[in-house]
Structure 1
Amino acid sequence: MRIGEVTGEHYQVVAKLGYGVTSTVWLGRDLRDGKYWTLKVHINSLRHNQERVVFHHLASVTTVTPGHPGKRHVRELHDSFTLTGPHGDHEVFVMAPLGMSLRTMQQRQPTRVFMKMLVTPAIDQVLVGLDYLHEAEVVHTDLHSDNLLIAMTDDSILAKVEEDEIREPSARKQDVDRSIYVSRYMLGGAGPLTICDFGQARIGREHIGHAMPLQFRAPEIILNMEWGSPVDMWAVGLLAWDLLEPKMLFDVYDTDSPELNNAHHLAAMTALLGPPPPEFLKRSGETSKYWSEDGEPMDQCPTT
Structure 2
Amino acid sequence: MQHLTRRLLRRGPSPPRTFATSGFRLIPPSEKVEEETLAWYTPASFYPVRIGENFQDRYQVVSKLGYGTSATVWLCRDLRHHSYVALKVCVPGYPSVAREKAAFARLASLGTPPILQKSLGHFTINGASGSVHDCFVLEALEFNINLCRAFLPGQLYDLVLWRRVAREVIQALDFLHSKAKIIHCDLRHENILMRGFNDKIHQGMESIEAARPSARKIDGDRVVYETPDRVPFPKEGFKCAVLCDYGEARCSDAGNTYTDDIQPFLYRAPELALGIPWSYPVDIWNAGVMLWHLFENKSLFNPYNQQGRESNGLHIHEMMEIMGDPSPEFVRRSIITDHSCFDENGLWKLQRIKRKKERSLESLETQLEGEEKAEFLRFMRRMLQWEPEKRATAAELLRDPWFSKGSD
- Residue identity matched to 1:72: P
- Residue identity matched to 1:106: R
Greater Cα shift, 183-192 or 70-79: 183-192
**Is residue 274–residue 331 contact of structure 2 (8 Å, CA) maintained in 1?**
no
The answer to whether the aligner puts 1:225 opposite 2:273 as a matched pair is no
Deviation at 1:39, TM superposition (A): 0.8
Q: How many residues in Structure 1 have an aligned counterpart in Structure 2?
A: 294
**Is residue 118–residue 138 contact of structure 2 (8 Å, CA) maintained in 1?**
yes
- Residue identity matched to 1:194: V
Deviation at 1:275, TM superposition (A): 1.7
Deviation at 1:195, TM superposition (A): 0.7
**Is residue 278–residue 293 contact of structure 1 (8 Å, CA) maintained in 2?**
no
Q: Deviations over 1:128-160 (max 9, x none)?
A: 000011122211111021211001221132222
2:108 equivalent in structure 1: 59
**Aligned match for 1:116, one of 159, 164, 177:** 159
Change (3 A) 1:221 1:256: farther
SS in 2 for 1:37: strand
Change (3 A) 1:269 1:146: same
2:223 equivalent in structure 1: 179
CA distance in 1, matches of 2:168, 2:216: 38
The answer to whether the aligner puts 1:102 opposite 2:145 as a matched pair is yes
Change (3 A) 1:157 1:285: closer
Change (3 A) 1:281 1:85: closer
Change (3 A) 1:292 1:19: closer
**Aligned match for 1:212, one of 256, 263, 274:** 263
**Is residue 292–residue 298 contact of structure 1 (8 Å, CA) maintained in 2?**
yes
1:269 equivalent in structure 2: 319
The answer to whether the aligner puts 1:152 opposite 2:201 as a matched pair is no
Gap regions ≥5 residues in structure 1: 62-66
Change (3 A) 1:278 1:71: farther
CA distance in 1, matches of 2:287, 2:93: 32
Deviation at 1:294, TM superposition (A): 7.7
**Aligned match for 2:73, one of 25, 43, 53:** 25
**Is residue 116–residue 243 contact of structure 2 (8 Å, CA) maintained in 1?**
yes
Where is the strand percentage greater, Structure 1 or Structure 2? Answer: 1
Q: Deviations over 1:33-89 (max 9, x none)?
A: 31111111112353661222221233346xxxxx7xx83211121111112234432
- Residue identity matched to 1:148: I
The answer to whether the aligner puts 1:298 opposite 2:360 as a matched pair is no
Matches within 5 A, 1:272-291: 272-284=322-334, 286=336, 289-291=340-342
1:43 equivalent in structure 2: 91
Change (3 A) 1:269 1:109: same
TM-score, normalising length from structure 2? Answer: 0.65
CA distance in 2, matches of 1:255, 1:96: 42
Matches within 5 A, 1:62-101: 71-87=113-129, 88-101=131-144
Identity score, percent: 35
- Residue identity matched to 2:125: L
Q: Deviations over 1:74-120 (max 9, x none)?
A: 11211111122344322111011110101222355575531122111
CA distance in 2, matches of 1:51, 1:229: 17
RMSD (CA atoms): 2.8
Deviation at 1:234, TM superposition (A): 0.4
- Residue identity matched to 2:59: Y
SS in 2 for 1:101: coil
- Residue identity matched to 1:184: P
Gap regions ≥5 residues in structure 2: 1-48, 354-408
SS in 1 for 2:259: coil
CA distance in 1, matches of 2:350, 2:58: 65
CA distance in 2, matches of 1:47, 1:130: 22
- Residue identity matched to 1:85: G
Greater Cα shift, 144-153 or 105-114: 105-114
TM-score, normalising length from structure 1? Answer: 0.86
Q: Deviations over 1:156-183 (max 9, x none)?
A: 3222222222222223332211222222
CA distance in 2, matches of 1:243, 1:86: 41
CA distance in 2, matches of 1:43, 1:284: 34
